[in-house]
Amino acid sequence: MNTLVELQEIQATDVRLEKERFYVLLEDGREIGIPYEWFPRLNGADQAALANWRFIGSGSGIHWEDLDEDISVMGLLKGRHRSDQKQG
């Protein structure tokens, strides 16, 4: 099987919020930790807003309603984040 296809099939099964980062549990058993500072809308958000998340695409992404933020699992696995992109 092609590695790219394998990555596209990986979905999240849970999200755990901590003080400085959030953790995404993947269906294959891995857990990745992501600093909030990677995503300006998440960075500095209050706990109530951070806790108001849901999966989109059957776990292929995470949506934070209060923060208008969508993050794909594939993007996280590739190390993509908004803090290294120029803000327009």
* Residues 12/73, Cβ–Cβ less than 8 Å: yes
Residue with tokens 């908004």: 82
What residues form DSSP beta bridges with 15? 24
For residues 74 and 3, the model is more confident at 74
Architecture of domain 3-84: 2-Layer Sandwich (3.30)
Confidence band of 7 (pLDDT split at 50, 70, 90): low
Question: For residue 73, is pLDDT > 70?
Answer: yes
Write down the pLDDT at residue 87.
Answer: 44
The whole-number average pLDDT for the span 35-45 is: 96
Would you say residue 2 has pLDDT above 70?
no
- The residue extents of the domains of the chain are 3-84
